[in-house]
Chain A
Amino acid sequence: MKGSDVAVSALRKSFGNFEALKDVSLEIKKGEFFSLLGPSGCGKTTLLRVIAGFEDPDSGSVTIDGREVSGLPPDKRHCNTVFQNYALFPHLTVFENVAFPLRIKKVPSRLIKDQVRRHLALVQLEGHADKKPSQLSGGQKQRVAIARALINEPSVLLLDEPLSALDAKLRQHMLLELDAIHDQVGITFIYVTHDQSEALSVSDRIAIMDGGRVLQVGSPQQIYENPKSEFVARFIGDTNLFTGPVVERQGPIARVEAAGYGSLLVEANGEAPVGARVTVAVRPEKLRIAGSPPAANPEMNVFRGVVEEPVYSGFQTKYLVRSVPGAAGQAPGSSLVVFRQHAQWSEGVPDIRWKDEVYLSWSARDAVVVETDAPGHAAAVDRPAGTAAAEAGAAVRGGEPPDPEGRAR
């Protein structure tokens, strides 16, 4: 495997009063496609710029292959950057843009010609060598930027939201191409993005960042299926969240008295003792929606409600289901989001429509505990999901999950 290990530890960086990085530590493996994912202002770009050498950290260290690089200028580091706005040199042709690093190194012209041709072929831009950047489309500029960053044969490629300026279709395409380039050159990619679907689809591992900290590092599956905090659960995909105290434990299964939703079962791997206040997440696609009650199953949770908002999007329908009065433990305002795939869509299958009364059911094994507060501690954050509605006893419209970008993709 080519590429380098990159490690940062205890990084801090402030701009004036704003702490962009608060004690960030990460280890990125050789050849990994590693994403830094988070909302804007979370510190991901600052972290990338510290690794590239554009910013000096206030404290902490950056090592590439075990060698300390903080303090080294960008031109002395074995990593290259693909910038968000491409940063192509407008006065140079595509050829000269890609050749720039070699000209700096005083490589003989013959070799330059050869290498540039090879790298333009890598990004499928052979016919455009003589154009100026202003004559290229967004996607083509992006390719030039990638070719230029790769020609020095860096051991780490840093990508700062490289696709954010492209339209959705092209973004999907370039993402796959980036992945293919990564497989081909085999070096370490560190990819900054705020788009969860980008990060999920190509990364080997993802670090979720917020407020200058790394909240969770893991494979896309780990991040999606087993978020370790409410923020991560909300940031990645749609999710249903419940909060309440654990009232009973039976092996791995915990019974949670969820505010607004009644008594729910969740698989908690030892992290939720009786009395602890927990936050539980269930992904909408884990819920089954049906017009009749599900067969009795001791590990099933059931929610009765009325379809309030069906949102049809071709491959699936998203339903917002609100509690019906009289269902045990359910507060009138609580609601859940459920996805129904249209895998076997046909005329015969009973359609679920607006105002239909439905039963949602999900297995305790599909619910995960994302946060635990030790007994006696008040919940750190106010839970919008049902809590307020339950306590006020009024039909407050709550429980609607956040609306992270790109859920339709």
Chain B
Amino acid sequence: MSAKRNYGSLYAAPQGLWLLLFFAAPLVIIVAYSFMEKGLYGGVEPRLSLDAYRALANPSLLLVAFRTLLVSLVATVLTLIVALPCGYSIARSGNQSLRLFLVIVPFWTNFLVRIYAWIAILGNEGFLNDALRALGVVADPVQFLYNQWAVVLVLVYMYLPYAILPLFSTIDKFDFTLLEAARDLGATKLEALRLVLLPNIKGGLVTAILFTFIPIFGAYAVPLLVGGKDSYMLGNIIADQVTKTRNWPLAAAISMTVTVLTGLAALVFLFRSRKPAPQSVEEPAAPLGVAGTSAVPSGGAR
């Protein structure tokens, strides 16, 4: 045993150092700041205070929190509605690699550039309005940008690949004969998908939801660039507290609340989805000598 030393922790050291420097340390700083008094020109005064947390009860802040939740839910649901058929068709297609490649292509362009691309499409002088006017559908440009729907649209676009990829990988492992079996047993196409496909790709669904909901909940750039005054989200409030209002403890307190709440929600969600399915109504009666009359090895779990 002692002849072979376990170098596992040594190999893990770089990653540990990285996490310590760029994840744990900032988190500790934010926690600490959230319990301090705000400095006059930004920064913090190193005195213990709960002012920041008291300020959370502010109705306008709660309104933004509620809106953020709503936008995140709507955007996540829409993302899943688009991602499910995409993942399904990629998994069933003959040229998976090409299609996956196409899903990943947008990542080669900077996040901000892609948001600006949407502005170029949806703006008053954008492609879409130009096309609509050229076709004579509208006379004056339609205001697509700077509202809640623009935010949702661009968020769905941004996080679609994060939902497609995990969904694809679970659907790819799904045994499609199960759908045939369901159809054979009397289920319509939709029933087969709902009763057999969905329960069997739960893992991918959970991952897709977490990968979209959590980043959307903390969205900052999208609402800032394509949203209006009424589409501010928590991310924007936090940024404003740091850069404009200069209330760092409040920014830290909001961040902490969001982190703790989404963390807890994710944990609950993961835990619930791992729970075994409810037992059937049949009571587990195992009369001896009834089942075991054959040469079948009973209980040979594989």
Contacts and interface: CB of A to CB of B under 8 A. Distances in A.
Contact of A127 (B281, B287, B301): B287
B290 A127 contact: yes
Dominant SS at the A interface? Answer: helix
Interface in A99-136: 99-101, 104-105, 109, 113, 116-117, 124-130, 134-136
Contacts of B282: 93, 95, 113, 116-117, 129-130
A138 B297 CA distance: 9
B182 A100 contact: yes
B286 A127 contact: yes
Interface string B272-302: 0000010111101111001101111111111
A369 interface: no
Contacts of B195: 100, 104
B296 A170 contact: yes
Interface stretch (A80-88, A226-234, A290-298, A344-352): A80-88
Interface size class of A (residues with CB under 8 A): 35 or more
Interface string B152-180: 00000000000000000000000101101
Dominant SS at the B interface? Answer: loop
Given A116-B282, A137-B300, A91 B185 contact: no
A101 B183 CA distance: 10
Interface in A134-173: 134-140, 143, 148-149, 152, 169-170, 173
Contact of B185 (A53, A124, A143, A148): A148
Interface string B45-82: 00000000000000000000000000000000000000
Quick one: which of A74, A136, A170 has the most chain B CB within 10 A? A74
Interface residues of B, number: 40
A160 to B, nearest CB: 10
Contact of A129 (B183, B284, B295): B284
Nearest to B191: A104
B294 A81 contact: no
Given A81-B180, A137-B296, 16 more contacts: A52-B184, A87-B177, A92-B277, A101-B186, A104-B185, A117-B282, A126-B285, A126-B290, A129-B282, A134-B301, A137-B298, A137-B299, A137-B300, A139-B295, A152-B186, A173-B296
Interface of A: 52-54, 73-75, 80-81, 83, 85, 87-93, 95-96, 99-101, 104-105, 109, 113, 116-117, 124-130, 134-140, 143, 148-149, 152, 169-170, 173, 177
10 contacts: A75-B183, A75-B186, A87-B175, A87-B181, A91-B277, A101-B185, A134-B302, A137-B301, A139-B297, A140-B298
